[in-house]
Amino acid sequence: MKIMSVNCGSSSLKFSIFEMENKELIASGYFEKVTIPGSFFNIKFNGEKIHEDIDMMNHTEAVEIMLDRIVKLGIVKDLKEIEAVGHRVVHGGDKYNKSVVITDEVIEDIVKFSDLAPLHNPANLLGIKAIKEALPDVVNVAVFDTAFHQTMAPEEYIYPVPYAWYEDLMVRKYGFHGTSHCFVSKQIERIQGTKDYKAIICHLGSGGSLSAIKNGESVDTSMGFTPLPGIMMGTRSGDIDPSILGYVASKENLTVDEVTNALNKQSGFLGLSGKSSDFRDVWAGVEEGNERCKLAVDKYVKTVVDYIAMYYVELGGVDVIAFTAGLGENAIPVRKMICERLECLGVKLDEEANNTRGEEIKISTNDSKIDVYVIPTNEELMIAEDTYNLI
């Protein structure tokens, strides 16, 4: 059975096709600058990368081109081979705690929750509508980023603000990166051979979040009402004093929206280093002796360690700490710095094992009180698996 995973952005479209019998990735592609001049796509198939510059005025055209090319390239002989499509949807509010087959009601809810994710849900919906139009007989499934964290208890997701904000405006912690945290939690279960474990998952990329996991379920997570709070990220500030917004807005004659935009797009590694939002560039600055780059890395490590320490106490001890996502899977020095600061918890790093990138590996010593792993995430496969299980 072939399942397609789709992740639709405001001007992009990503897809992957899996053969679910052996969970094999058959092909993947990325369509960029959809609706913008200079649009193009790349498709990876059979060890080759196919690039084509082509105008795509909207997502319907992008989907039509995608489906045309996967047949012409022989990825599938007939579109009927694709039995279902799983769509990444960022926000499902507090209604959806698992993936669901897309119905008219689900579409209405995705629209309703667009106020909570105005940059993402409308774009996700574009992909859903385009696929439904092009493949009217195929089952479509919504896989929500927020769903995995719906197991949090009220004391974890509620904010100490006027309760009417929660009742009337849906203000609460939702958490994000749920598809990744769910995938990694299942890998930990496989490694441990049981669901009876306590873990902290560190999804560290340009965006980043940590989650506290008990028996395979999310107990707490670092992102909140939006993806802005939590640890420092590529361009996001993470946790700050909320009074800063009004203060800076007043001093700089800015609106609150403009200050919030700066916290989302001009902060984090970019804001502190003044060099780049990409860790690789910042680390190069560290090696060159750039003090602001060093400060950015030190601050980043501190924010991650702070959350690990908090979740360690919240869980009453931890069996596993897992690093995942682009930075977590590849940034050897950051993993080392984090683990060194966790020595007080009994973490012992195997430096030879840590000197690897992008592969599943245990990087703690055998006498470490907590097992530390690098576990590559695979959100596209998680979407496909949820879709397969539903149909």
By the 8 A CB rule, do 34 and 62 touch? Answer: yes
Judged on CB neighbours under 10 Å (0-12, 13-18, 19+), 91 is buried
Residue count (the chain): 391
How far apart CA 331 and CA 33 sit, in angstroms, is 29
Which distant-in-sequence residues (6+ apart) come within 8 Å of 246 by Cβ?
256
Could you list the active site residues?
A: 145
Helices (H), the chain: 59-72, 104-112, 121-134, 154-157, 163-169, 178-192, 243-252, 256-265, 268-273, 279-287, 291-315, 325-330, 332-341, 351-354, 379-390
Q: What are phi and psi of 42, to 5 degrees?
A: -125, 135
- In whole angstroms, give the CA distance from residue 291 to residue 297: 10
